[in-house]
Structure formats: structure tokens, C-alpha cells
């Protein structure tokens, strides 16, 4: 018995399949590079989509256009094929013109699968304890660090005299004004009215707290002058600044985290560390 002739395939098909696999490899490499540069969810999704679409399209064309499908009938002759049929099958699979050994296709398929496999390893880096972008770590750390100056929304550094008595001033970390977890506010209070020491300390009554409500993360912006109370406009949680920003009304259950600050030798307000607790709404390991 002779093996059926392998159809040559329409011109250019091999090149199209190889192009699909190369596209897949490029998508996988793009995913790895995007992830390595700090990650961008939308681009990572696009790269993975390109990688899998290229792979699927290449395999689909390969199966439909190059593999012989046509009209061969044989009688059932038992489960072990005769030797000449085994030899024919081996020849179909291994001959130089075999559809599964087309010029360079195995190499490009291997490249695409290898790139995808390597790209799949990259997210494992997020599990390493020292990775700053690790999700759990990112939830607990903000741009506030020792030495970071407190600035206004337009980037102007603040001195203690820029925070008048009983006026709320929004403050941000210099260089990271747009960071979503960093907004804070400064208020100068009468220290003799403190019923609990501020968690972040105070500078002659000047206290700094996170502006993110501990209920659902809305900005706590409403300061009721003379009362030492901050009000969240979303669901009316109220925080008592004289009692270390403890919630005294509304659904919030945790105090606003404090920010420890100092006056540096140049007279500007600088943080001496991060917030005393993760800012904003509680998450899974919050008590």
C-alpha cells in the first residue's frame, strides 16, 4: 500500500502559518516586557490576546490547509496495522515533505510555545516577598517615606506656618501628588484638647491624617471648624481628631491613619515614615 500523496498546500500558506507563530511569540515577549517594566493591565491583556490568537490561528491554518484530509477508505483489519501500513505512517510523519515537518513550522511553533511558557513564569515574580509591586505589599505601602516633603496639590512645599489654626489643608507627597493612596490633610488643633495622643504625633498641635475614609475610601474633606471633626460626605462617617481620628458616627470602623511629620532644617514639613496603618477601606487581613 502506498501512502496518499501529501498535498503541496496553496502557495504562501507556510509563510502565513509561520507569521502567525511569530506574531504569537511577539505577543508573549511583549507581555513579559510589559510586566517587567512595572505592568500595565490593559497592555498585558492585549499582548496575551495577540499571543494566543496568533497560536490558535497558526494551528488552525496548519490543520485545515496542510494536513491531508481527503477521502481515504480502508477496511477494518484488526487493531494492529500491518507492517507496510506502519511503515507508511512512519513515513508520513517523518518524511521531509511531511505536513507535520513543513519548512520551519516546527521551529516557529516551538518558538511561540516557548515564549508563552516563559511569559507565564513572569507573574510568579509577584509572589516574591521583596517585590515592591507585590499586590499585598502595594496595599500596605504608600509613597510617604522618611524625608518626603508635604506639598499642596500644585506642588508647593509647606512650612508649619502654612497650616493656620483650625483650617484643613490638603497635603500630598512631593513627587507623587497623583498617587491614589497618599492624599492627606493637615490641621492645627489645640493640643490641650487631645483626649488621645495622635498616632502620628503632632507638632505643636499640627496633626496630619490620611484623607481616605476607612469605610469605602471616599475623600474625607469636610472639616467642622472648632469641633475637631472631619466628615466623610459619602455615608456621613465622622472622625474625632481630638481622639486620634477615631470614628464616632457613620459606618467607618477604623480611625484615619496618622502621618508622622517633622520640621526639617530647611523649615519645611517632611514625613518621617509612612501612615501608621494602611489608608482607605479595610481589606482582607485588616482586623
Give the footprint of ligand FES on this chain (CB under 6 A): 213, 215-216, 218, 232, 234-235, 237, 250-252
Measured from the CB atom, the residue of 208 and 213 that comes closer to ligand FES is 213
Q: How far is the CB of 170 from ligand FES (least distance, A)?
A: 16
Alpha-carbon distance of 204 to 261, in angstroms, equals 12
CB-side neighbour CA atoms (13 Å) of 58: 30
Output the nine-digit C-alpha cell for 103: 519548512
Measured from the CB atom, the residue of 142 and 214 that comes closer to ligand FES is 214
Output the nine-digit C-alpha cell for 18: 509561520
Q: How far is the CB of 241 from ligand FES (least distance, A)?
A: 16
Q: How far is the CB of 152 from ligand FES (least distance, A)?
A: 23
Q: How far is the CB of 221 from ligand FES (least distance, A)?
A: 10
Q: How far is the CB of 249 from ligand FES (least distance, A)?
A: 9
Output the nine-digit C-alpha cell for 279: 489608608
Measured from the CB atom, the residue of 215 and 229 that comes closer to ligand FES is 215
Measured from the CB atom, the residue of 28 and 232 that comes closer to ligand FES is 232
Question: Are 245 and 239 contacting, i.e. CB atoms less than 8 angstroms apart?
Answer: yes
Measured from the CB atom, the residue of 9 and 250 that comes closer to ligand FES is 250
In whole angstroms, how far apart are CA 102 and each of 15, 60, 130? 10, 15, 46
Q: How far is the CB of 230 from ligand FES (least distance, A)?
A: 10
Q: Sign (positive/negative) of CA torsion 183, 44, 116, 32?
A: negative
SS3 52: helix
Measured from the CB atom, the residue of 139 and 216 that comes closer to ligand FES is 216
CB-side neighbour CA atoms (13 Å) of 100: 7
- What's the first-to-final CA gap in the chain, in angstroms? 76
Amino acid at each position: 500500500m502506498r501512502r496518499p500523496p501529501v498535498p503541496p498546500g496553496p502557495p504562501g500558506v507556510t509563510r502565513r502559518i509561520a507569521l502567525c507563530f511569530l506574531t504569537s511569540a511577539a505577543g508573549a515577549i511583549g507581555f513579559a516586557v510589559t510586566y517587567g517594566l512595572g505592568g500595565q493591565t490593559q497592555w498585558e491583556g492585549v499582548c496575551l490576546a495577540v499571543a494566543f490568537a496568533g497560536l490558535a490561528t497558526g494551528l488552525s491554518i496548519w490543520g485545515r490547509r496542510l494536513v491531508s484530509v481527503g477521502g481515504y477508505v480502508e477496511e477494518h483489519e484488526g487493531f494492529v496495522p500491518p507492517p507496510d501500513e506502519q511503515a507508511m505512517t512512519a513515513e508520513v510523519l517523518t518524511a521531509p515533505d511531511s505536513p507535520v515537518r513543513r519548512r520551519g513550522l516546527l521551529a516557529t511553533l516551538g518558538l511561540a510555545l516557548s515564549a508563552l511558557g516563559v511569559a507565564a513564569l513572569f507573574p510568579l515574580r509577584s509572589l516574591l516577598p521583596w517585590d515592591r509591586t507585590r499586590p499585598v505589599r502595594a496595599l500596605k505601602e504608600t509613597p510617604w517615606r522618611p524625608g518626603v516633603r508635604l506639598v499642596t496639590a500644585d506642588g508647593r512645599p509647606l512650612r508649619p506656618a502654612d497650616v493656620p489654626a483650625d483650617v484643613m489643608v490638603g497635603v500630598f507627597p512631593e513627587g507623587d501628588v497623583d498617587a491614589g493612596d497618599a492624599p492627606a490633610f493637615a490641621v492645627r488643633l489645640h493640643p490641650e484638647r487631645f483626649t488621645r495622643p495622635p498616632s502620628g504625633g503632632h507638632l505643636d498641635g499640627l496633626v496630619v491624617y490620611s484623607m481616605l475614609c476607612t469605610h469605602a475610601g471616599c475623600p474625607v474633606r469636610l472639616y467642622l471648624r472648632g469641633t475637631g471633626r472631619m466628615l466623610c460626605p459619602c455615608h456621613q462617617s465622622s472622625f474625632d481628631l481630638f481622639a486620634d481620628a477615631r470614628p464616632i458616627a457613620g459606618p467607618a470602623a477604623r480611625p484615619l491613619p496618622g502621618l508622622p511629620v517633622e520640621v526639617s532644617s530647611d523649615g519645611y514639613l517632611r514625613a518621617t515614615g509612612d501612615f501608621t496603618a494602611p489608608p482607605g477601606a479595610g481589606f482582607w487581613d485588616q482586623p
